[in-house]
Every structure is written in C-alpha cells, then in structure tokens.
Amino acid sequence: MNLPRVGLDAYTFRTRLLPALLVLLPAGLAALAWFPELQASWTPILSLVVACGGIALLAQVGRDRGRAKEPMLYASWGGKPTTRLLRHRDAPNKVLLARRHAKLQELLSDVQIPTPVEEQADPAKADEVYDACVAFLIEKTRDRQRFPIVFDENCNYGFRRNLWGLKPIGIAVAAVSAALVGALIVVTVRVNRADLPALAVAAGGAHVAMLLAWVLWFTPDWVKATAEAYAERLLGSCDSL
C-alpha cells in the first residue's frame, strides 16, 4: 500500500507524518486482528481521512510534540549540538574549530566570533553569536540538491526527535492495542475454542516489539546520535560556501 502524501514535501513526510503513523500502527493492527474484513476497506477509509485533512493534521501533531520537547533534549545535552561544536570549551577538535571559525568570520563579516577568553567571560553572549552562525548556515544550505547529505541528516534528526516527542502517546496506543489483541486471543482460544488466527499472532508480536522499542530504543540518546550527525554535516558545509 502506498502512503498518501497529499502534497506534503519530502521533509514533512519523513519527519512529521511517518512518526505519527508509527504511533497509530498498533491501533491499525489491532483493528485488523479483530475485524479482518476491514482489509478490503483500507482504500476508501484512507481516502476519507485524506479528504478530511487527517494526513496533514497528523503531520502537524508529529511536529508539535517534537518541537515542544526539543528544549528538554538540548538541556540534557548541554546545549544544541551545533552550538556546542562551535564553542571553544566543547569542540572535540580545536584545529577544525579554528578553521570553521575563520570561515564563518569570512562569511559573516558583521559578526565577531568570540575568542576563548570572550567566551569564558560571557558564555551566553557567545552562544548567541554561535546560534546566529548556525541560523546563517541553515538558510544557506536549504538547497537539497546542492546539500543532499545535510538534508538527509536533518530528516533523520527530525524523524527521531518527533518520534521521541510522541513517546507517551505511542506507549499508550501500543499498550491498549496489545490488550485488545490479547483479549481477542483469549476469546478465540478459551471461549470460542477455535484456532488462533495468524493475523492475531502477528499483531500480538508486533505490539510487543513496538512496546519494547518505545521503552528501550526511542530514547534521548537515540535522538542525540542523529542530532550530532546533522550538526557535523551542517557545520561541514562551511567549506562549500
């Protein structure tokens, strides 16, 4: 089945819609397990959802949850990865940092890149300068054809951030859906004395896997890995500007 994009751009589809759809996946599997005849009805149901703006709404929900919790991630990481990589005190490679600072100073002649002493004297003001540099790079690298790796890493980060932001909802949906499938299994085996449907078994396994993923896999560290990869690619674009 092809997922409907309804005019959504690639970034919105990958980073906002897909996380929301993953949240709803267990509910869809539970519905199919209870009502297998619905398989033939997916196309008209999806068409109705699209016509009512449901897909666009899901994309907005996926974005809002991630954006709302992003400051919490930054605080736990000690700041934005892009900002940290521009700080004298945090940069892992001082030679690379000096080259990036020099390039940014060349590109933004009206901005004074802080020295180590200036950064230490006023860290907040230094971070404002670094944030301004990052904002400049973001605007200059929006051409996905010219900066495809920056675009891909940005999508990877956005997907993980938004999926993590939806974690409480995802756990709740997966838990309720798993309970519904469990009830179906009990009714089928103990009440109806019938053979267990393969779809119910598959759905039950999928729900257990999703619950484990929500609890153990979708964590701030999982998000951080892509955030740092995106930060490296974005700052690395300095050499192409």
Domain membership of residue 48 (yes or no) is yes
Domain membership of residue 240 (yes or no) is no
Domain membership of residue 163 (yes or no) is yes
Full residue range of the structural domain in which residue 114 is found: 10-234
At position 187, the amino acid (one-letter code) is: V
Contact by Cβ (8 Å): 88, 188 = no
Domain membership of residue 165 (yes or no) is yes
CA distance 221 to 79: 14
Cβ-based neighbour number of residue 36 at 10 Å: 12
Q: Which residues contact 219 (CB under 8 A, 6 or more apart)?
A: 164
Domain membership of residue 113 (yes or no) is yes
3-state DSSP call for residue 7?
Answer: coil
Considering the entire predicted model, what is its pTM? 0.87
The pLDDT value recorded for residue 203 is 82
The pLDDT value recorded for residue 45 is 56
Which residues of the chain have a pLDDT value below 50? 1, 51
The position carrying tokens 């970034």 is 11
Contact by Cβ (8 Å): 79, 229 = no
Phi-psi region of 111 (alpha: psi -120 to 50; beta: other; left: phi over 0): beta
Write out the two tokens for 166: 């939806």
Domain membership of residue 28 (yes or no) is yes
Contact by Cβ (8 Å): 163, 17 = no
Contact by Cβ (8 Å): 225, 129 = no
Domain membership of residue 2 (yes or no) is no
The pLDDT value recorded for residue 116 is 94
Please write the tens of the pLDDT for every residue from 211-238.
Answer: 999 999 999 999 999 999 999 999 999 9
The pLDDT value recorded for residue 25 is 86
Average pLDDT over all residues of the chain: 86
CA distance 125 to 108: 17
The pLDDT value recorded for residue 1 is 45
Domain count within the chain: 1
CA distance 125 to 106: 20
Domain membership of residue 90 (yes or no) is yes
Beta strands in the chain (DSSP E): none
